[in-house]
Structure 1
Amino acid sequence: MDEDLEQMTRAELLLEIKKLRRGIRRHRDATGHDLCWHHPALWALLPEKTDPIPAVPEWPVFLQGCIRYRRSLDEQAPSAPRTNEPYDE
């Protein structure tokens, strides 16, 4: 799957690493409502070009997952700042 890396020069590998790091940092630095989104831009950094369509849970099950994720933020980042900023399309 990663055979393309074997053919890259050192300079090309460094460019690839920097591109991937930028993508990881954008994802890592997501905050507020951006935490809840599907992230195809991150997956687009991979050389294989696929656009997987996720299996989407029905609303009640999906919302249970959202609540569980939000609770995990309380556990993993209890001192993170909180916001009441509404979602704005």
Structure 2
Amino acid sequence: MDEDLERMTREELIDEAKRLRQGIREHRDCSGHDLCWHHPALWALLPDKTDPVPVVPEWPEFIKGCIKYRQSLDEQAPNAPRSNESYDE
């Protein structure tokens, strides 16, 4: 699956590492309502091109997951700034 790395020069490997780091940073730096989105751009950094269709939970189960995720932020980042910013499309 990662045979392409074996054929890369040192410079190409450095460029690839920088590209992947940038993608990870963009994902890491999501904040606010952007935390809730599906991030296919992150998966697009991989050389194996697929278009996976996620299994999407039904609404009640999906909302339970959102609540659980938000609770985990209280536990894992209790001192993170909070916002009352509403979601606008």
Q: What's 1:47 paired with?
A: 47
User: What is the alpha-carbon distance in structure 1 between the residues aligned to residue 85 and residue 2 of structure 2?
Assistant: 42
The CA deviation at 1:88 is 1.4
Using structure 2 for the length normalisation, give the TM-score.
Answer: 0.99
Q: How well do the aligned residues superpose, as a CA RMSD in angstroms?
A: 0.4
State yes or no: 1:13 paired with 2:16: no
Unpaired runs of at least 5, structure 2 = none
1:1-80 alignment runs, 5 A limit: 1-80=1-80
Q: What's 1:84 paired with?
A: 84
The CA deviation at 1:52 is 0.4
Runs of 4+ in 1 over 4 A off after TM superposition: none
The CA deviation at 1:81 is 0.2
* Aligned residue type for 1:48: D
Query: How many residues are treated as equivalent by the alignment?
Result: 89
* Aligned residue type for 1:46: L
User: What is the alpha-carbon distance in structure 2 between the residues aligned to residue 25 and residue 42 of structure 1?
Assistant: 10
The Cα offsets for residues 6-60 of structure 1, whole Å up to 9 and x where unpaired, read as 0000000000000000000000000000000000000000000111000000000
User: What is the alpha-carbon distance in structure 1 between the residues aligned to residue 15 and residue 85 of structure 2?
Assistant: 37
Unpaired runs of at least 5, structure 1 = none
* Aligned residue type for 2:71: R
Between the aligned residues of both structures, percent identity stands at: 76
